[in-house]
Amino acid sequence: MLEMNGLQKVFRSGLVETHALRDFSLTVDAGEFVAVTGPSGSGKTTFLNIAGLLDGFSGGSYFLDGYNVTQLNDARRSKMRNQKLGFIFQSFNLIADLNIFDNVDVPLRYRGFSGRERKKRIDKMLEMVGLLGRKKHFPGQLSGGQQQRVAIARALAGEPRMILADEPTGNLDTLMAKQIMELLEDVNRQGTTVIMVTHDPNLARRANRHIQIVDGQLTDFQMYEPLSKIQQTAVAV
Amino acid sequence: MLGYYLILGWRSLWKTPIISVLMMLVLGLGMSFSLVLLTVMESSRYNPMQHKIDNLYAVQLDNWSDDPANIFFGSKNFIPTAISFRDAKALLASDIPTRATMLTASGAMLENPGNKEVAPQLHSGYLVTRDFFSMFDVAFASGGAWEKQNSYNGIHAIVLNEWLSNTLFGSVDSVGEMLLVDGTPYTVSGVVKGDWYMAPRVYDYSKNPFGSSPGFYFPLEDIALNDYKRWGGIYGWKQEEINSHQQFLASEALWVRPWLEFESSQQKELFETFVKAYVEQEQNNGRYEGSNKVVLSNSTQWMSIQEGYQAYADYVLAALILLICTTNSIALLMAKFLKTTADSAIRRALGASRYSIFTQHMFEAFLVALGGGVFSLLISYYWFAVINRTMSGWDYQFLSQFTKLSPVSLIFVFVLVLVATTLSGALPAWRVSKTEPGRYLNAE
Ligand SMILES: Nc1ncnc2c1ncn2[C@@H]1O[C@H](COP(=O)(O)OP(=O)(O)OP(=O)(O)O)[C@@H](O)[C@H]1O
Ligand SMILES: [Mg+2]
C-alpha cells in the first residue's frame, strides 16, 4: 500500500534547517492498522503529510498504491488524495461555514458524483457515525467528539483505501476517544488501511503494528507478540 | 462542478454582505465614472467635418521666437496654432485655394435702432471671412454670406443666428435690415438656421468648442477699421511697442485661425510652396526667426493637435480611476481570500487540486465583478441622466447630444468590469491556491 525508502525532509526557515525526516523507510501493507508514536517534534505529522501527498520531500522515494509519487503532478496527486485517502486531524478541520451535510459532501463534490449518489453516501456515513439527525447543524453546534465523527464520516464517504489520522483523539476525553478508536477499528476490519498518530500508549497498543518515530527516524516495534512474552524473555535473561 | 463553485462564491460573499456590497459599489462607481469620462472624450473626438476631410486644411506657420527658453507650449514639437493679421492678409490674397477663411472669436454690442424696446445687448460671435459659410456648411434660414469684396475699407455686413435675429427683430425675416454693431451700422445679409450647430467647432478650439452656436458672424476684414473684440486666444512672444490698434494689427501677435479649402492634392502642394516662399521672403525681411516650417493639417489632424496641448489629462484620470478601483478590489479580495486559506487547505486535503481552488476563487471574483458591473450600469444611467439634465441648459446643449449612453457602450462597460475584476481576482486566487495545505491542517 505504502512504501517509503530513504525519505529526507528538510524545512528551511531563514537560516535554520530542520531535518524533520532523515533516511526514513517504511512499508505498510494493505489492511494494516499502524499506530505511530514518538516524542513531540519527532516528525510524525511530517510523515503523515508526506504519506497523504499534502507535502513534498527532499530525497528518497515514495510509492503509494504502486504509483511513484514524485512523478505525479498536482492534479494526479489531488485525485489520489480524493479517491484513495481519508484524513482525520486532531483539530477536526471541519469547514465552519458549511453544515454537517455539506462538510461530508466536499470530497464527493471533487469526486464528481451525481447529486443522488452524494446524498446516498452522505446519509449512509452520517447514519454510521450516529449524526444523521444533525445534518443541518453547523460544526460549532457540535461537541468535539461529534465533530470528529463528522470528520470520520467525511474521510470515509469516498471509500478510501487508506485512512491517515493525526492524533484523532488528542482533543477528546477518554470515553469519546474510545468511541472514535472503535470506529477506526471497524473501518480497518472492513479492509481499509489505517495509519494513526497518537500519544496514547493504550490506543497504540490496540493497533496491530506500532511504529515509533524518534528524531525523524523510524524505530519499528512488532506488536503481534504479546507484551508479556517480551517481558518474560527479559526476566529469563 | 461550476455550479458548486458558484454556490461557494455566493455563500462566501453573503457571509460578509457589507464588504461584498462595498467592493461592488466601489467598482461600480469607478467604472461608471471612467465610462462617463470616456464617453464625453469620445464625443469630443467626433469630427463634424469628416465629409470634407481631404478638402479642409488648417495652416500653421512657425512664427515664434528662436529663444530656446521660450518654446511654444513647452514643446519643440509644437508650433503656433494661430497666425498674425498681416500674414492672414497675405494668405487671403492668394488665388491658389478654392476657398479660404481667416477667423477669430469675437463679441459685440448689438442694437436694433428701429426697435427701442429691445435694449442693446452684448453677444458673442465670430469674425470670419465670407468663405467661412460655404467651407463649414453653415445652413441658412434666409439670405446668405455677404458679397465678395477684397476690401479692408469696411464691408459692414453681418450674419445672424436665427435666435438672435428673433431677439432683435422679432419673427420677421431680418435680411436686409440694419443694426448697430458696437455702434457701427451693419446690414444683415443672412440668417443661420436656429437648429444648425457644429460640435465640436473644429475651426476654433480657443473658445469652448462645445458651446452653443455663435450668435453672429461679421467680416474679419472690418477689424482693419474698428478695434472689435477678440475673444479667441492670442499668443505673443515678441516685445513690441503697441500703442494703437494699427500697431497691433501690424504686430507679431498671433490670433487669426486660417483655414483653406482645396479640390486636389496638387492644389494643396501648390499652396504649400506658395506659403513657404512667402515665409522665406519674410525671413529676408527679418521676420520668422523660428523656422520656415509650414504645416497643413486636415480637420481630424487639427483636432488631435488641439488635444495634444491638453496633455491627455483626461485619459490619465480615467486610467487612474480604473487602477484605483482594481487595486482596491485586489486588496479586498486578497484579504478575504487569505482569511479562508485554512478552508482551502482542508479542501486540498480532501482532493481539491490547486486548479480547482483557483477556479473556485475566480468564481467568487467573477460574482464580485458581476455585482460591480450591475452597479456600474445603474450608476452610469443615473450619471448620464444627471449630466443630460445639467447640460440641457443653453451653453452645453450640444455636448448633451453626445452624452447619451448607447447600448454598445453599456455592453462594453459591462464586459470591461467583468473582465477587469475577474482578472483582478486572479492574483489573490493564485496566492490561495499556492499555499501548502500541510501547515494549516495541524495548527491548533
Ligand atoms: N512548516 C515547517 N517549517 C519549519 N519547520 C517545521 C515545519 N513543520 C514542521 N517543522 C519542524 O519539523 C519537525 C517535525 O515536526 P512535526 O510536526 O512532524 O512533529 P510531530 O512529531 O508531529 O510533533 P507533535 O507530536 O508535537 O505533533 C519539528 O522540529 C518542527 O519544528
Ligand atoms: Mg504532529
Residue type at A77 in one-letter notation: R
What is the domain-level CATH number for residue A30?
3.40.50.300
A35 domain residue, yes or no: yes
Lowest-confidence region among A133-142, A210-219, B153-162, B434-443: B434-443
What pLDDT score does A227 carry? 47
B442–A45 C-beta distance less than 8 A: yes
Q: What is the pLDDT of residue A224?
A: 46
What is the nearest CA distance from A80 to chain B, expressed in angstroms? 7
Task: Tell me which chain A residues have a C-beta less than 8 angstroms from the C-beta of B347.
Answer: 95, 106, 110
pLDDT at B314: 67
Separation in Å, CA of B419 to nearest CA in chain A: 26
Sign of the CA dihedral running B27, B33, B36, B38 = negative
Residue-level pLDDT at A147: 94
Nearest by CB to residue A109, choosing from B4, B354, B355, is B4
Which residue carries 424696446 as its cell? B117
For ligand 1, whether the C-beta of B439 sits within 6 Å is yes
Q: pTM for the full model?
A: 0.70
CA of A197 to the centre of ligand 1 (A): 13
In angstroms, how far is CA B309 from the centroid of its own chain? 11
Going from N- to C-terminal start, the domains of chain B cover 2-46+310-443, 54-297
- Nearest residue of chain A to residue B355 (CA atoms): A75
Instruction: Output the nine-digit C-alpha cell for A151.
Output: 470528520
The yes-or-no verdict on residue A225 having pLDDT over 80 is no
pLDDT in tens, B398-417: 555 555 666 666 677 678 77
Determine if ligand 1 sits within 6 Å of the CB of residue A193.
no
Is the beta carbon of A18 within 6 A of some atom in ligand 1? yes
Residue nearest to atom 6 of ligand 1 (CA): A11
- For residue B62, CA distances in Å to B81, B184, B288 come to 9, 36, 7
Domain interval for residue A223: 2-95+145-234
Closest CA of chain B from A94, distance in Å: 8
Give pLDDT tens digits for A82-115. Answer: 999 999 998 999 999 999 999 999 999 999 999 9
A212 lines ligand 1 (CB under 6 A): no
Residue B162, sorted as left (phi over 0), alpha (psi -120 to 50) or beta, turns out to be: alpha
Residue of B287, B281, B223 lying closest to B249 (CA atoms): B223
Whether A39 maps to a domain, the answer reads yes
A160 interface with B at CB cutoff 8 Å: no
Of the candidates B4, B351, B438, the beta carbon closest to that of A78 is on B351
For ligand 1, atom 5, the nearest C-alpha belongs to: A11
Looking up cell 453599456, which residue turns up? B410
Kindly list the residues from chain B whose CB atom is less than 8 angstroms away from the CB atom of residue A83: 351
Ligand in closest contact with the CA of A56: 1
Cis-peptide into B200, omega within 30 deg: yes
User: In sequence order, what DSSP letters do the residues of A85-145 get, joined into one string?
Assistant: EEEEETT----TTS-HHHHHHHHHHHHT--HHHHHHHHHHHHHHTT-GGGTTS-GGGS-HH
- Rounded CA-CA distance A86/A153 in Å is 10
A190 is a domain residue? yes
Domain count, chain A: 1
Instruction: Give B306→chain A minimum CA distance, Å.
Output: 57
- Looking at per-residue confidence, does B385 or A116 come out higher? A116
Q: What is the pLDDT of residue B127?
A: 97
The preferred substitution site among A42, A196, A218, A219 for testing ligand 1, maximizing ligand atoms within 8 Å of CB, is: A42
How many A from CA of A93 to the centre of ligand 1? 18
- Using the Cβ of B349 and the Cβ atoms of chain A, whether some distance falls under 8 Å is answered with yes
B434 lines ligand 1 (CB under 6 A): no
Determine which of A106, A154, A167 to mutate to test the interface with B (most B C-beta atoms within 10 Å).
Answer: A106
What spacing in Å lies between the alpha carbon of A224 and ligand 1's midpoint? 29
Residues 6+ apart with CB under 8 A from B127: B103, B104, B105, B106, B217, B218, B219, B220, B222, B223, B228, B230
Per-run averaged pLDDT (10 residues), chain B, 444 residues? 91 91 88 76 78 95 85 76 95 95 96 92 96 96 90 93 95 95 97 88 84 92 94 87 92 95 96 96 90 91 74 69 79 86 92 92 90 86 76 54 62 75 80 80 67
| Residues B356, A52: C-beta atoms closer than 8 Å | no
For residue A47, the CA-to-ligand 1 centroid distance in Å is 10
Q: What is the pLDDT of residue B267?
A: 96
